[in-house]
Every structure is written in structure tokens, then in C-alpha cells.
Amino acid sequence: MKAVLRFIGLLALAALALQLFFVGRIALMVAVDPQSTSFQRSEAWRLATEKGSLRWRQQWVPYSQISDHLKRAVIASEDGDFINHDGVEWEAIEKAWKKNTKAEELAAKRAQARPNARPAKIVGGSTITQQLAKNLLLSGERTLLRKGQEFVLTIALELLLGKQRILEVYLNSVEWGEGVFGAEAAAQHYYRKPAAKLSAWEAARLAVMLPRPKYFEKVPNSGYLASRAGTITARMGDAVLP
């Protein structure tokens, strides 16, 4: 019995140490720009092992040197209530869960009739802060434990960094194509200009790419991309910046 209790105690201490490590990393970001994220490192490994080369474009720029158009476009596209919530949109998560459950049920029925039927399309209900928490420090696996850890990190980000710093780190680290990370790299890659000079339309197109950047990089003339960018452009005036 003592051995079991000792083992449980060690597990608890290890879990606490991990949380303190994560919180320490986040606290450091108050003053120090992160050099890379967990997602970026996993992508670098994938590119190196699958393609034998490392295509990597990223250049950190301060919040003031990122176009307000891009800030508004990303908020309008990814997280319309970013300025007001505490990091988690519970209603959005509930809606996404219900939609995903229905999609998986339909996919299961299709699979019974056609073994090669396409899998269910899973949608997310994550806020900008949650996306940052996941990309910064966590793996891409979909488990309840990982999701719980994401919530803890999301709260830490909101408490320690604040909205403006969260958006700055997010825009400087998010993926915008294969090996293309951050607003400056994306602006140079797609428009041959700095992130500070992006127009409203260019910013809207970049924002629409975020859920599937590698796909849209290959189909820049996508009708959906243009149509959705028009919708986001119309919504940008309502986006409140931190």
C-alpha cells in the first residue's frame, strides 16, 4: 500500500512540476519573444525527414509593425469575441462538439455503405488563445488529457500575458503555409511586402487561410478563398483590437 501511495505521490509531483514548467515558459514570454513553438518544431522535423530539407521562413516583428487590417481580419475570422472572453468560448465548444458528433455519425453510415468514403470533417471551437496554447507547448493529438492541459495553459496565457501580447505572439508564430510562420513571413511570401503594409483585402485572404494554410497555399485562386475573404473584409470593421 505504501508503494502505491508513494507512486501516486510521485505522479502528482511530476504533474505539478510540469505545470510549473509550462507556467514559467509563459511568464518568460511577457518580456522574451519565443524562438519557436512545439508545432513549428514538429513541422521542422517532418520537413527534414520527409523531404530531406528544411524550408523555414519566419521573422518576428513587434505588434506595432503588423497591419491593423491583419489583426482585425484574424479576429473577425478566428475569434470574433477575442477582446471580451477569458480565453475559452464554452458555447462555441458545445456547438462544435454537437456538429462533430453528427458529422462522425454520418461518416460512420457512409463507411458502412462505401468503405472508401471520406472521413468526417472535424470543426473546432477554439479561441485564438487556445490555438496559441496548443501550438506553443503541446502536441497535436486529440485526447481529453491534452484538451484539459490546453485549458490550463489558456488560463495562464490570459492571466500572465494579456490580450495584446497574446495576439502579438499568435500572429508571429501561426502557420501560413509549408514552412511559412508568422505575419511577416506570410506577407513577404504571398505579397512581397512587409506585414505593416498589408491592405484589408490581402489581410482578409491571409486570415481565411489559417485553418488550412498548406491547402490554400496550393490553390491561391480558390473561389472559396475569394468569397470568404469578402465576408471577412465586411466583418473587419466590427473587430475590436486589444
Whole-angstrom Cα distance, residue 51 to residue 205? 28
Cβ contact 198:185 at 8 Å: no
User: Is 104 a residue whose pLDDT tops 50?
Assistant: no
Q: 6-59: per-residue pLDDT in tens?
A: 767 777 777 777 788 888 889 999 999 998 898 998 888 888 888 777 778 899
Residues of 41-58 as b/e, b for ≥16 C-beta within 10 angstroms?
Answer: eebbeebeeeeeeeebbb
Q: Is 180 exposed, middle or buried, given 0-12, 13-18 or 19+ CB atoms closer than 10 A?
A: buried
Average per-residue pLDDT in the chain?
84
Reading the block at residue 208, the C-alpha cell is 481565411
pLDDT of residue 180: 94
User: Is 96 a residue whose pLDDT tops 60?
Assistant: no
Which domains are assigned to the chain? Answer: 37-80+162-242 (1.10.3810.10)
Cβ contact 46:168 at 8 Å: no
- Can you tell me the mean pLDDT for 178-185? 95
Residue 112: partners with Cβ closer than 8 Å, 6 or more residues away: none
Question: Which residue's entry shows cell 515558459?
Answer: 25
Residue 122 binned pLDDT confidence (cut-offs 50, 70, 90): very low
Reading the block at residue 176, the C-alpha cell is 501560413
Reading the block at residue 161, the C-alpha cell is 500575458
- Can you tell me the mean pLDDT for 207-234? 93
Which amino acid, residue 93?
I
Run of H or E including 238: none
pLDDT of residue 230: 94
pTM attached to this predicted model: 0.84
Run of H or E including 207: helix 200-209
